Amino acid sequence: MDIKVFGNDIEKALKLLKRQLQKEGLFKELKVRSFYEKPSEKQKRKQIEARKKRMKALRFKKPDQG
């Protein structure tokens, strides 16, 4: 990943970097890994995330034509 700085505008470059890192899920990953998570809690969290992802996909899914 690379962020280009135009016209010595470092604040804008930092903002772009933070947005890109957030998009990739780095901050979320750091938060999860900062403490030990029991395997049962990890499995439960993964299931909840998968459920949220499915619901979001259904929300944006185009209706079948036919």
Q: Rounded to two decimals, what is the model's pTM?
A: 0.58
Residue 65 has pLDDT above 80, yes or no: no
| Averaged pLDDT, 37-50 | 95
Residues above pLDDT 70, as percent of the chain: 97
Question: Has residue 17 got a pLDDT over 60?
Answer: yes
- Is it the case that residue 13 has pLDDT exceeding 90? yes
The DSSP-derived string for the chain is ------TT-HHHHHHHHHHHHHHHTHHHHHHHHTS---HHHHHHHHHHHHHHHHHHHHHHPPPPP-
| 1-5, 14-18, 26-30, 51-55: segment of lowest average pLDDT | 1-5
